[in-house]
Amino acid sequence: MPNPKRRHSQQRSAKRRTHYKAEEVTLSTDSTTGEIHVRHRAHVSEGKLYYKGKVVAEKAPLKA
């Protein structure tokens, strides 16, 4: 595997890393439950899984 012949400067590494930024998460309010959640992600409310305002899955009762 090829290796660099000379060491890269710290400035060169920093220039490459300037594009890595933390982005703020966009939040939405669910029209059905009124809860705040991350956009385009399913969220749990009262034991039910919601996505786009609809129930996707319900928690099944445990069988003993």
Instruction: Provide the pLDDT for residue 13.
Output: 82
Instruction: Provide the pLDDT for residue 28.
Output: 92
Query: pLDDT per residue over 19-59, tens digit each?
Result: 888 889 999 998 888 889 999 999 988 889 999 888 999 87
Helices (H), 1-64: 10-17
pTM of the predicted model as reported, rounded to 2 decimal places: 0.57
Note whether 53 and 30 are within 8 A (CB): yes
Confidence label for 62 from pLDDT (cuts 50, 70 and 90): low
Averaged pLDDT, 7-15: 87
Task: Give the separation between CA 37 and CA 19, rounded to whole angstroms.
Answer: 27
Smallest CA-to-CA distance from 52 within 43, 61, 62, 60 is with 43
Task: Give the separation between CA 18 and CA 43, rounded to whole angstroms.
Answer: 33
